[in-house]
């Protein structure tokens, strides 16, 4: 039977989405997994795949139109099938309301398949063709997407197009300015950039940094963390784009990159954006390689309103809980005691880790990566399981540390420092 194409619910709060672009028109053959349209919500832009293989027909819903979740947007027909009879209930849910009997199939063919930017062709900005990555990068770097020619199909603006524009723009501007950047060590040569995990800050790298000799080291507080400002985060790419923008403002062109946990997922997203500037990539128990995560730990950090209530959750980070000192707890709580800070983290977790599940996979970022890449994991990690390290590309070096939990850079500082120095050499 015919398969219905509907407006999907992409997060728990979503009630409607705006159709940003149709990639198919009535009569087109589509295959399962092929992108058929793109939607925008208040939080993100995403592509929607065909659920089955067949022929698309009965498309309804114009580009730029807001549509309620669950609304029928068309059908995918198998060989020999005909379009089902539409009923008022199936067609009267669009916003603004239209007369049901006058709803017709929407021909989604672009007016012209050119590489002209929308601003030059007179297109409605709401119909701008751009990938979600391109939108995140443009937002973080203050780039006007309407001013860019797209290199993708039908002039679609891609992430590489935005980064080309960023490289042509003088360093400076406001994008990413609210991220706190600290030169932990100043030295000649290509710097090492350190990205912390969820609920932490760049100050936690001090012990590791002390063992990295002769290298410039930069610590950055991620959005809603440490001394960085509060930011509305719509995706992991938003976090990565903000870090790239801050490095651009600092004039950092080439760098080694180390990311822990959430910082690891951010580093993977950055690798897709700035691969030509990256000199090595080191990931410590990174997020972004699987769905599992300790949701109780994430929720506990966001809820804790005293050192006593925070301490049991911090203990989850260690293999040897004796390393959880009173000063560690006090420092961590200082970062989290602000109600505003906890609310920012809670909102960020809701987007990146809804219902205790990692919402975004960045495994494909490791495929074809030309720079030296290491993944370091504790075998007793209770936050992100070691099993996520299975099946990594052969060129990625995996180091599993015995009797180490989630914080390998604290429980096994010497080992991590030695592996990192080897990596950068």
Q: How far is it, in rounded angstroms, from Cα 374 to Cα 371?
A: 10
CA 245 to chain centre: 15
Determine whether 399 is exposed, middle or buried from the number of CB atoms within 10 Å of its CB (0-12, 13-18, 19+): middle
Identify the H or E element spanning 184.
strand 181-185
**SS3 assignment for 345-400:** HHHHHHHHCHHHECCCCCHHHHCCCCCCEEEEEECCCCCCCHHHHCCCCCCCEEEE
Give the pLDDT confidence score for residue 19 in this predicted structure. Answer: 87
Give the pLDDT confidence score for residue 160 in this predicted structure. Answer: 72
Q: How far is it, in rounded angstroms, from Cα 425 to Cα 421?
A: 6
The parts of the chain modelled with pLDDT lower than 50 are 87-127, 170-175
Give the pLDDT confidence score for residue 43 in this predicted structure. Answer: 56
Count CB atoms within 10 A of the CB of residue 168: 7
- Please give the angle made by the CA atoms of 26, 29 and 35, to the nearest 5 degrees: 85
Give the pLDDT confidence score for residue 105 in this predicted structure. Answer: 32
Place of tokens 């700035």: 274
Beta bridge partners of 56: 76
Instruction: Let me know how long the chain is.
Output: 425
Identify the H or E element spanning 19.
strand 16-22
Give the pLDDT confidence score for residue 93 in this predicted structure. Answer: 41
- Specify the DSSP class assigned to residue 146: G
Identify the H or E element spanning 89.
helix 88-91
Q: How far is it, in rounded angstroms, from Cα 102 to Cα 295?
A: 48
pTM score: 0.63
Determine whether 150 is exposed, middle or buried from the number of CB atoms within 10 Å of its CB (0-12, 13-18, 19+): buried
Per-residue b or e along 22-58, where b marks 16 or more CB atoms closer than 10 Å to that residue's CB: bbbebebebeeeeebbbbbbebbbbebebbeebbbbb
Closest of 86, 97, 144, 136 to residue 269, by C-alpha: 136
Q: Is 49 helix (H, G, I), strand (E, B) or coil?
A: strand
Contact at 8 Å (CB) between 52 and 21?
no
- Specify the DSSP class assigned to residue 292: B
The domains located in the chain, with CATH, are 3-102 (2.40.50.100), 118-168 (4.10.320.10), 181-424 (3.40.50.1820)
Contact at 8 Å (CB) between 86 and 58?
yes
Cis peptide before 96 (omega within 30 of 0): yes
Sheet holding 29-30, edge to edge: 3-6, 72-77, 54-57, 29-30
Residue pLDDT, tens place only, 54-71 = 999 999 888 878 888 888
Give the pLDDT confidence score for residue 127 in this predicted structure. Answer: 46
Closest of 334, 300, 293 to residue 315, by C-alpha: 300
Concatenated DSSP letters of 112-137: ------HHHHT--GGG--B-HHHHHH
Specify whether the backbone of 232 is left (phi greater than 0), alpha (psi in -120 to 50) or beta.
beta
Contact at 8 Å (CB) between 399 and 372?
no
């Amino acid at each position: 039977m015919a398969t219905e194409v509907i407006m999907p619910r992409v997060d728990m709060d979503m009630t409607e989405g705006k159709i940003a672009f149709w990639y198919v028109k009535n009569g087109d053959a589509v295959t399962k997994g092929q992108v058929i349209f793109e939607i925008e919500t208040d939080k993100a832009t995403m592509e929607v795949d065909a659920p089955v293989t067949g022929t698309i027909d009965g498309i309804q819903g114009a580009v730029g139109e807001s549509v309620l979740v669950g609304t029928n947007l068309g059908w995918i027909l198998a060989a020999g099938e005909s379009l089902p009879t539409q009923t008022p209930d199936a067609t009267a849910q669009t916003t603004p309301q239209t007369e049901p009997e006058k709803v017709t199939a929407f021909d989604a063919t672009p007016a012209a398949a050119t590489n002209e930017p929308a601003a030059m062709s007179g297109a409605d900005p709401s119909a701008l063709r751009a990938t979600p990555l391109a939108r995140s990068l443009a937002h973080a770097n203050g780039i006007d997407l309407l001013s860019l020619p797209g290199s993708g199909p039908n002039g679609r603006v891609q992430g590489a197009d935005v980064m080309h524009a960023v490289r042509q723009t003088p360093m400076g501007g406001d994008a990413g300015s609210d991220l706190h950047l600290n030169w932990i060590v100043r030295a000649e040569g290509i710097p090492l950039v350190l990205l912390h995990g969820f609920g932490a800050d760049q100050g936690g790298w001090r012990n590791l940094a002390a063992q990295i000799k002769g290298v410039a080291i930069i610590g950055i507080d991620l959005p809603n963390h440490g001394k960085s400002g509060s930011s509305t985060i719509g995706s992991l790419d938003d976090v990565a784009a903000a870090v790239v923008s801050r490095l651009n403002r600092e004039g950092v062109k080439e760098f080694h990159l180390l990311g822990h946990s959430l910082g690891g997922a951010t580093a993977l997203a950055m690798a897709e954006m700035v691969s030509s500037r990256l000199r090595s990539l080191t990931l410590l128990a990174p997020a972004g390689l699987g769905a599992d995560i300790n949701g109780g730990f994430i929720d506990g950090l966001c809820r804790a309103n005293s050192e006593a209530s925070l301490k049991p959750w911090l203990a989850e980070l260690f293999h040897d809980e004796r390393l959880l000192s009173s000063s560690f707890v006090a420092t961590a709580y200082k970062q989290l005691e602000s109600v505003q800070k906890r609310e920012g983290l809670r909102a960020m977790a809701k987007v990146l880790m809804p219902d205790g599940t990692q919402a975004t996979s960045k495994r494909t970022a490791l495929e074809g990566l030309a720079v030296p890449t290491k993944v370091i994991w504790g075998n007793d990690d209770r936050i992100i399981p070691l099993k996520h390290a299975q099946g990594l590309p052969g060129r990625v070096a995996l180091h599993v540390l015995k009797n180490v939990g989630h914080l390998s850079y604290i429980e096994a500082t010497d080992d991590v420092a030695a592996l990192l120095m080897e990596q950068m050499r």
